Structure 1
């Protein structure tokens, strides 16, 4: 998720009775665990590189976070897109380029340190070959186009380094596009440079990611692209009507019509209406706090503001059904071939539904889908088949 200053939002507590019932209802069955291990599971958004910038951890071994090799294998995860996230602040101070390259170095080092456990994935054609012997594959997605600055040639540079999608903007307008979070939109969609970025990404075979974009920017990117586009971690606005960060029905249909995929996240703030409302309230309060700071009317620091907010707004328990409801609605809206998963693990500060707390929990999601009468073939599509199909089509469009 990542907000403007790289924190995650929490939400108020409810009673625990529903939580307990939901947890019991989604315990993975042997059939669910078997399918999770056999299917190709692709998660398009895991924020572990940001955590590695805070403190190095060997993710080849069991760690305290939401992604590591033992947890991935327990959950059946095969393809884990590592998110190369840079903030609007790093865009402003010119450090985004260095931060992005350090994150890529960290992902590379995992594969070099543990060639028996990890491999860098650059093409969907290589999935079956590289995942042999229980490897977890690590393609990369860039969350925020800030590291390319205003230099189109840097797209090819990052493509050569293994970046296979770019989320054009994040929580603030940038040189490429307007953000869904920005109160004032700078470009009314894509910038002129952003239009060139879309064309160059098409040429390279790099996936265009419209998560985090304003409605106008997402619509323009979809219209301009010669290839399918993805939403790497976007839920559906049907459940959160005033939350622009989630996709409207119109935009979801446009992504599907282009052959793309909507990757449903797990974070409470995306999938749960009350949590989404709390997220929006936070942004309003934070904007007012920034105005107070600029006017010299408060000496409170950002850390103090966040601590006070979290104390007043403790987390709200959310059940796995919130994610399953999103998938159900998406399938009915755009069809089984256009829905996937982009968890946002390690990116939402643990604000995740019960039963989906780490990458080890994918069997719980499978069990929930089986309980809702999805066929195993359709579950395979949601778990990864749809994303791999779209990625293959994007590569083919580039070769043409």
Structure 2
């Protein structure tokens, strides 16, 4: 997971921008719209396609017996129970993140099992607050009972290894989607982040993996894959796919990790959904430029702690060139998807606990979903539109994938 360095964290307060006020004539005042947004956040099921809580906990040495407060209300990272309840987040897909390095060293399947065990242990420790969810229907049941669902998606298909039987194995373990790769090409396909394209898309084994995911009922996630991989998945998959945490390349030209307009349109034509990533560098080209510039200076500073010139430069630079975008930019991406593909093909895929300090103003943690709903209300989205974005679009794909599997087994 890419984290912005400690030095940048030190200067966050100095470089945060003020959201620009936007005057929109509506029947309701902003105060009334915010109250409505809070109400809708509690009324509708909210899904989030990608939350990196399990790997964050693993990296911190989390122990369910001694560190339980971190899950409940300590407010470390971007997610805990208290803030999820406040924000109305009912079904955060727990990312079973597998670093690309394990593709060479081994241990990918073992790590996946460890992280799945962790998610299960959270639900077992707090059955009145959390429950693992393996289907959309289970999420609905948990919602009615006032329990937060913990569906799981595996970020990187590396744990499958070269054994196709592992697809069914991870389905049994509760994995509802698999992101085919991460930052490097693997045995399945090429990555958008990797300059080396080994397979020119899907490998022959990767094609078998996609077919097997269709068969057993696991959603295919095309976030992180190369463009050629995406188009091959669209041709091969018999059910809709998702992009669990991607944004629109329209706003970040040249950033292949995001989706082009043509890709978004085709994903929609095939019935799929793009879930918008909240990271500022996914949302705004200027944020990407500033982040890259800062990283160069931060690296230089950290190599020589006595060099205060770099530190001072970064402070001055970020004062003039804010790193963070704001919640309005996330709404811009949603607007763009709706404009080119329709209201039925967009959702939330925050990447909370995965994009470090680059989250936009107004969406700094899981308590902030009402701020985004407020912005959508200001732009004229109806209650029905917002419910689709919150969960109904993703549920539709999830259930189509499940239905196809049930009819073909």
| Band the TM-score falls in, shorter-chain normalisation | 0.7 to 0.9
Quick one: distance in 1 between partners of 2:373 and 2:383? Answer: 9
1:383 deviation in Å?
0.9
Quick one: distance in 1 between partners of 2:16 and 2:208? Answer: 52
**TM-score of the superposition, structure 2-length normalised?**
0.86
Does the CA contact (< 8 Å) of 1:141 and 1:165 recur in 2?
A: yes
1:53 deviation in Å?
0.5
Quick one: distance in 2 between partners of 1:66 and 1:220? Answer: 35
Aligned ranges for residues 289-304 of structure 1 at < 5 Å?
A: none
SS of equivalent to 1:43: strand
**More displaced 10-residue stretch of structure 1: 270-279 or 150-159:** 270-279
The CA deviation string for residues 364-400 of structure 1, in whole angstroms up to 9 with x for no partner, is: 0110000011001101101111001111111111122
The CA deviation string for residues 349-375 of structure 1, in whole angstroms up to 9 with x for no partner, is: 121011101110000011000001100
1:250 deviation in Å?
1.1
Aligned ranges for residues 1-400 of structure 1 at < 5 Å?
A: 2-3=1-2, 7-8=3-4, 19-21=18-20, 29-55=34-60, 56=62, 57-58=67-68, 59-63=70-74, 64-278=76-290, 316-400=323-407
Does the CA contact (< 8 Å) of 2:156 and 2:178 recur in 1?
A: yes
Does the CA contact (< 8 Å) of 2:15 and 2:323 recur in 1?
A: no
RMSD (CA atoms): 2.8
Runs (4+) of structure 1 moved beyond 6 Å? 9-17, 23-28, 280-283
Report which structure shows greater RCO (CA 8 Å, sep ≥6). Answer: 1
Unaligned runs of 5+ in 1: 286-299
Paired residues, what number? 378
Quick one: distance in 2 between partners of 1:350 and 1:233? Answer: 17
SS of equivalent to 2:356: coil
SS of equivalent to 1:350: helix
Quick one: distance in 1 between partners of 2:337 and 2:294? Answer: 27
1:132 deviation in Å?
2.6
Cα 1:221–1:304, aligned 2, differ >3 Å: closer, same or farther? farther
Does the CA contact (< 8 Å) of 1:121 and 1:139 recur in 2?
A: yes
1:15 deviation in Å?
8.8
Unaligned runs of 5+ in 2: 25-29
**TM-score of the superposition, structure 1-length normalised?**
0.88
Cα 1:372–1:16, aligned 2, differ >3 Å: closer, same or farther? farther
1:23 deviation in Å?
11
Does the CA contact (< 8 Å) of 1:23 and 1:355 recur in 2?
A: no
The CA deviation string for residues 183-207 of structure 1, in whole angstroms up to 9 with x for no partner, is: 1211110111100000000001100
SS of equivalent to 1:202: helix
Quick one: distance in 2 between partners of 1:384 and 1:161? Answer: 23
